[in-house]
Amino acid sequence: MNNSLEQILTVEAATGAFGQADAVLEQTLRDFIQLQSTTIAVGTQLVGVRKVGWLEYTFYTGAEGTFTYPLADNAVTDPTKVGTLNYSVHLKKGQGRCIFLDSTLLRGESFENMDRQQLAIVRNMADVIDDLILETLIAGANQTVTVAGGSEWDTASGDAEANILKAMDLIFENGRVSGNEPLALVVPAKHRNVLLQTTLYGNVVESLEGHLKRMANITLYYSRNARLADTALLLVPGSETAEFFQYNGDGFRETELTRIPGVGFDWMLTGYMGCIVHEMQDGATAGDGKNNRIAKISNISA
């Protein structure tokens, strides 16, 4: 059964609009907002997403394993030692909050018709998640392609395709990859026109976005993140490159509905989240939170 926002906040119609809320249904609203926020966020399509029961976790760098072949029958391969080199992720607190006013209800509006407030929290939470993930990925890019002055993407002499393919070559040359992975490209939203303009490639007329997808298996995403105003981000997507974590364990009330006398209902959502770029022992400096599976393309805007 689908529950409206009114049913979630007031479990029985018989109790009226100011009845006691049900804790399980409050959690339903919490789960909807968290799920919807991660669904519409761009960043969660680029990294692994996990619900966890901890606020801090330490990873030990052990990606550099060995397998020796061939070996003599009486030989034993040397082991790879997993030592004390490590990096940690810390989940930090975030909150969303709104007040459902008595005056709004008294004017005939139901909670169900007030879903714009709920969706505003969803949208803002998605923006926060996006900013966290994208800024972590930008900081974690160990390789950079710098577009020459006068050749920015929004100029007549710009060559976005050449810049993107150069960044792709850096990833496959230096990153810990097999060489056949699909890639994700995050571009400032203001450059959609550059990627969607059609041109003739061989004997096919298509957009650069379609051309990159067909030729190099690159999927495009657009973002309004401020750090990407003059930068594009190319990476191997997935949990091996980076991960986003949300706390989903015990220990605190994630949702709270409190009656404010003479005002209305104060609803609050509290959550903890964090993001990390995995260190791959691929040439990036240990402890810097970077790897070579991510590349930045800078100076793309005139």
Average per-residue pLDDT for the chain = 83
What CA–CA distances, in Å, run from 274 to 31, 106, 128?
Answer: 18, 41, 11
The yes-or-no verdict on residue 26 having pLDDT over 70 is no
- pLDDT value at position 103? 86
What does the pLDDT look like over 53-112, one tens digit per residue? 999 999 887 656 778 899 999 999 988 776 677 899 999 999 888 888 888 778 877 656
Distance from C-alpha of 199 to C-alpha of 149, rounded to nearest angstrom: 24
So what's the pLDDT on residue 213? 93
> Are 221 and 234 spatial neighbours (Cβ–Cβ below 8 Å)?
no
Helices (H), the chain: 5-9, 23-40, 102-106, 115-140, 160-174, 192-196, 208-216
Q: Name the residue with higher pLDDT: 162 or 114.
A: 162
In whole angstroms, give the CA distance from residue 265 to residue 102: 8
Name the residue with higher pLDDT: 153 or 10. Answer: 153
Which one is predicted more confidently, 265 or 109?
265
The pTM for the full model equals 0.81
Q: pLDDT above 90 covers what percent of the chain?
A: 47
On whether the CB atoms of residues 45 and 221 are closer than 8 A, the answer is yes
* pLDDT tens sequence across 122-164: 788 888 999 999 999 999 999 999 999 999 999 989 999 999 9
- Asked which of 59-68, 157-166, 178-187, 239-248 is least confident by mean pLDDT, the reply is 59-68
Cis amide bond preceding 182, omega within 30: no
The pLDDT value recorded for residue 120 is 76
Place of tokens 């030592």: 83
- When pLDDT is cut at 50, 70 and 90, the band that residue 13 belongs to is very low
The pLDDT value given to residue 8: 47
